[in-house]
Structure 1
Amino acid sequence: MSLPVDALIDFLRGEEARGVKTIHLDDEAKELLRELHRRGRATAVRPAERQAAPARVAESAPRPEPVAAAPPPSVPAVTAPSTGDAAQRIAALARQAENWDPARRLGSLRGTMVFSTGNPEADLMFVGEAPGYQEELQREPFVGAAGQKLNDILKAMGLDRPAVYISNIVKFRPAMQGQTTNNRKPTVEEMASCISFVKAEVEIVKPRCIVALGGTAAEGLLGLTGAVAGMRGKWHEFAGIPVRVTYHPAYLLHNNSGAQDKRRVWEDMLEVMEKLGLPISDKQRSFFLPRA
C-alpha cells in the first residue's frame, strides 16, 4: 500500500534528479511532516502491544504542551485612532501601516500592504500569519484556496465572510529570493514589527472571540511555539479577549488524514460558537463524526 511518506520521498527524489538542492517548507508543510512522524512512531509499537492497546489510544494520549517563545524585539507601539466610527478608525490604522517604518526598514518584506477585511464591529475575529501571493495580488487576507476553505468553515457555522473580521499578524508578504508564487513563514522580527497593529485592531473591533489560524499566528499572537495539536482544545487570551487556536485552512488542503483533522477544526469552531452564543443544531454537532 502506498503511504503519504512514500509519495513525499518520490517527489524529493524527483526534485533531486532535476538538480534542486533546497526546498522551502511553509508552516503547514512542517506541521504535516511532524504529524506523519508522530503517526510513524505510533504505529511502530510491537505486535503484542498493538493487540492489547485500545482502538483509540493515539487520540487519548496527552497533547504536547505549547512552549513560550522568546520575547520579540522591541517595536514602537501603535496608538489606535480615537475619532470616527470603527470602519473609519480601521481605515486610518491601515493608512498608518502602509508606511510603517519598523516593518519597512527590515528589508525582508515586500512593498504591498495587505491589512484586513470584513466587519470592523464583528464579534468574531480571525488572525492568520501573513499575506501570500493571492492576498498580495488582491490586497485582501485569505482570498486563495485557503480563503475559500475558511469561507466554507464560516458557512458551516451559519456565518459569512462579511460578518467576521479577518486580519494577519504581518501586514506585508515575506520576501524570498527569486520569489514568484511561493511564500514563506514570517520571522519573529517580522511578526514583532506589525503586532502593535493587531493590538490596535482588537481595541477598535472589540471582538468577543479571536481564532488564531495556525501555529505561526499563535506564535505571533500568544508567544507560543510548538505544534498546533498542543495549543488547540483550550482557551488562551490576547488583550483580554478569549483566543482559540486551530489548524490553518491550508493545512486541511494539504493534509491526507481527511475527516479526522477537519473534525478537530470543527470542534474548535463549535467551542467558538458556544462562546458567542450562536445556535448549534444536532446536524452541526455531528459534522465529520463517523457514521454509526
Structure 2
Amino acid sequence: MSATPNSLFRHYLDSLIQQGTTRASLTDEARNVLRTWYVAARQGGRPAASASASPKPPPLQTSAPAPAEMPEPPELLPQSGEPASSITLPEGTMEDKLQYLRHLAQNWKPARELNSLRDTMVFATGNPHTKLMLIGEAPGYYEEVQQEPFVGRAGEKLNQILRAMGLSRDMVYISNIVKFRPALPNQRTNNRAPTPEEIEACLPIIMHEIRVIQPKMIIALGGTAAVGLLGEQGSVSSMRGRFHDLNGIPVRVTYHPSYLLRSDSPREKRKVWEDMLAVMERLEMPISEKQRGYFLPRE
C-alpha cells in the first residue's frame, strides 16, 4: 500500500515524539491540511485530491504559538488527565509494550534534559496482568540500589499492607511516576520528592504504562503521586476517603508507606486500612470480619 500524506504526517509526528519532542506548533498551511482531514473523517469520506496531492508532511514550526481558532482533530488531543505529548506503542503483547516503555524511559529526553535526576532508571515490578496498580512518586536510595520500586523499610511496610489484603507483590503491579531518583548535592542515602517539573516531564511514561496495564483500580501512594496523576492540588488527608477518576479508572489516594513509619499509631494505620478496605470492596475481593476489624480501638 502506498503511503498517504496522513500516514506520512503521523509517522513524522511519531519520530519527533521518539526523540523526546513534547511540543510543536503548526503553520497555517499545516492546520488547513489537518482541517481538511478532520472534516473528511467526520463525514466518513476521503480528503479531496487537492488536499492530498503532495506526500510531504505539513510543515511544523517550533517558535510561534499555533492559532487557537480551530480545534485539533480528536486523534491528536490527549485524553483527560493525560499529558500533551503522546507515545506510539508497538504492536505485540503487553510484555512487548512494557519493554518498549522501559527502554524509552531509560533515555526519555524531557526527563534527562532537566539535569536534576540521577542516572539509574527504576521502572516497575509485579504482575502486569492484574486488576490493581499501585503508583508512588519516585525511587529512593534503596530502590536505586536494587532497581526496583518500593524496597527498604517503606517497601516492607507496603508488603505488610498487601499481605493484610491477602495479596503479595507478585499479584499486583507497582510503579512510580518518576523513574529516576531525584538528585541532591553530595547525595548519599538522603532522598527528596520530585518537583512538579520532574513529574510533568515523566508523566507520558506512566500514563502509557497505565494504558498498557489497564488496571481496574489504581492506588496513589502519597500526595505527590496523587497530585501528579490527578492534576488536583491538595493534601492526602483532603483527597483520601473517596474515589477519584483517571480516564475511567477509579483511583484511591492514601498515605505513602513511609508516612506510617513516621506516624505508626493505630489511628493512622486505620486510615490507610480503610482505604484498602474500600479498594477490596470495589474489586469484590473477599473480606473477613477479622480484616474489617484491623486497627480499630479495642473496647
8 Å Cα contact 1:75-1:193 kept in structure 2: no
Matched, 1:159 2:194: no
- Residue-by-residue CA offset, 1:237-290 (whole Å, 9 max, x unaligned): 11220000000000000115x000100000000000011110000000000001
Matched, 1:147 2:152: no
2: CA distance, partners of 1:96 / 1:237: 27
* TM superposition shift of 1:78: 2.5
**Equivalent of 1:290 in 278, 293, 297:** 297
* TM superposition shift of 1:220: 0.7
Match of 2:111 in 1: 103
**Equivalent of 1:206 in 206, 214, 219:** 214
Match of 2:86 in 1: 77
Q: 1:155 aligns to what SS in structure 2?
A: helix
Letter aligned with residue 197 of structure 1: I
2: CA distance, partners of 1:141 / 1:225: 25
Q: 2:133 aligns to what SS in structure 1?
A: strand
2: CA distance, partners of 1:224 / 1:185: 17
Match of 2:188 in 1: 180
2: CA distance, partners of 1:198 / 1:78: 11
* TM superposition shift of 1:77: 2.2
Matched, 1:220 2:231: no
Alignment of structure 1 residues 27-176 onto 2, 5 Å: 76-79=85-88, 81-176=89-184
1: CA distance, partners of 2:87 / 2:121: 16
2: CA distance, partners of 1:146 / 1:285: 23
Letter aligned with residue 288 of structure 1: F
Structure with the greater relative contact order (CA < 8 A, sep ≥ 6): 1 or 2?
1
2: CA distance, partners of 1:277 / 1:193: 35
Match of 2:22 in 1: none
Q: 2:111 aligns to what SS in structure 1?
A: helix
8 Å Cα contact 1:75-1:102 kept in structure 2: no
TM-score (norm 1): 0.73
- Residue-by-residue CA offset, 1:91-110 (whole Å, 9 max, x unaligned): 11101110000000000000
- Residue-by-residue CA offset, 1:148-186 (whole Å, 9 max, x unaligned): 100100000001100000000101100011110000010
Letter aligned with residue 266 of structure 2: A
Q: 2:135 aligns to what SS in structure 1?
A: strand
* TM superposition shift of 1:225: 2.4
Letter aligned with residue 119 of structure 1: N
8 Å Cα contact 1:235-1:243 kept in structure 2: yes
Gaps of 5+ in 2: 1-80
Identity rate, percent: 58
Largest Rg, 1 or 2: 2
Match of 1:9 in 2: none
8 Å Cα contact 1:75-1:192 kept in structure 2: no
Q: 1:204 aligns to what SS in structure 2?
A: helix
Letter aligned with residue 285 of structure 1: R
Match of 1:267 in 2: 274
The two structures, once aligned, show a CA RMSD in angstroms of 1.3
Letter aligned with residue 246 of structure 1: T
Match of 2:245 in 1: 237
Letter aligned with residue 225 of structure 1: Q
1: CA distance, partners of 2:85 / 2:280: 35
Aligned pair count reads: 218
8 Å Cα contact 1:210-1:241 kept in structure 2: yes
TM-score (norm 2): 0.71
Q: 1:167 aligns to what SS in structure 2?
A: strand
Match of 1:195 in 2: 203
